[in-house]
Structure 1
Amino acid sequence: MPLPLQGPTPSGAGKYVKITMFLKKLPNVSQEYFSAYWANNHVAPALRNKKFREKVRRYNQQHVTAENRTQAATFGLPVLDYDGVAEIWVDSLDDWISAVTDPELAAAVDGDDKNFMVQPVHVMVSFDHLILGGDEWKPYNKVDSRL
């Protein structure tokens, strides 16, 4: 029999919809190449795209190194076999669909994934239920040379 609950279930009404994508590098590229290509080459068309910049509230890349995998293994739990994770926050799923189906962006990134990552990309749609910490993050405001 399950233990009694200590409080309500999270409502699902987080501030943003969060799209999380789990990426694996191509077997013939190094982790360094994968990370550099993803952080620079692949992201540049999105950063130049007006609709992407308008619709996406936050975009974060998590890069996994061999050292990170070794560190994670010390926990004694299974380690996910991904080389990177993209986290994207949007106001609604419709906003995300609008951004990624923009014809200009679609044309700019069409087939680029073949240069550094394996398909399929695994995805998760969720909401944040903040337990500890603040909501003080700010969008990246530095003028990016890739724009």
Structure 2
Amino acid sequence: MANQARLILLQPEGKTSQFDWIGKLTDAISRLPSVREKITQIVEFQRNAGWGKKLVEMGYPLNPFTGALSIYSSDVEGLKELISTILKENEVKDSAPVWLVGNDEKKITKTPKDPSKPLVKLMGLIVRNPNLTIPQFHSHWSGPHAALFCSKPLTQERVVIYKQFHSSPEWTKDFAQLGLSIAEFEGVVEVWFETVEDLEALFCNPEHVEEMMPDETIFINSEGSGVMIGSDSVETEKFIAAS
């Protein structure tokens, strides 16, 4: 896994956050030099409710979240200092968001045809198959499953970016102790496409579904897992490490 740490805030549908997390994050980063040199970017993902209807018809469950906020840091200590500072300085009466912490593995990275155009992103939140241990879950998903997915001609033709976020049990305990509500998911798959049509061409293709679904059942518990479809907004902020 990459050394860079990532903290994800998930906003449940039907619950409005009463706390300005983006404002508090950017304010704290600007005031704390030790944090500012570690935080690399904050990116907001927004669900598009009009996308993904064909996937639902194919049997893909949609997750009850309206979006996600990702904070990236060169190491997890930067995230800990950032969040602990915000919680110490503010009375956060906000039980709506749930959180994940871990790091990313990039499997496919291509240059988009039009870099100025937002990509369409499928964000799948994964609950682990309880028959697997946590190490077995991460190992199978990162290894055999990723290799199978990347080997498919449709994947190679349509996918711009394929990335896996792996939660860290150790880091999760640390952030739970800080007072964050931790989500039940142990992984997040992110797949970017040029268009919604490209996304549907891959995930609604019967042959693709028939080949991938059996392997997914090995490590995924379908109950509780699901997808969101939307796009990343323009980066809320970008902080480049001093180094």
- Which TM-score tier does this pair reach, normalised by the shorter chain? 0.7 to 0.9
2:227 alignment counterpart? 123
1:75-90 matches, within 5 Å, as 75-90=178-193
Q: CA RMSD in A?
A: 2.3
Aligned length: 124
Which structure is higher in strand share?
2
> Which sections of structure 1, spanning at least 5 residues, go unmatched?
1-9, 135-147
Contact 1:60/1:88 (CA < 8 Å) preserved in 2? Answer: yes
Contact 1:23/1:84 (CA < 8 Å) preserved in 2? Answer: yes
Q: Which amino acid aligns with 2:163?
A: N
1:62-73 matches, within 5 Å, as 62-73=165-176
How has the CA–CA distance of structure 1 residues 75 and 19 changed in structure 2, closer, same or farther, with 3 Å as cutoff? farther
Matched, 1:133 2:238: yes
Taking CA–CA contacts closer than 8 Å with sequence separation of 6 or more, which of the two structures ends up with the larger relative contact order?
1
Q: Output the TM-score relative to the length of structure 1.
A: 0.74
Distance in 2, matches of 1:22 and 1:35, equals 14
1:92 alignment counterpart? 195
> Which sections of structure 2, spanning at least 5 residues, go unmatched?
1-45, 49-115
Distance in 2, matches of 1:80 and 1:109, equals 25
Q: Which amino acid aligns with 1:107?
A: E
Q: Output the TM-score relative to the length of structure 2.
A: 0.46
CA deviation vs aligned residue, 1:56-82 (integer Å, no higher than 9, x gap): 111110111211211221341211110
Q: Percent identity?
A: 23
Q: Which amino acid aligns with 1:52?
A: T
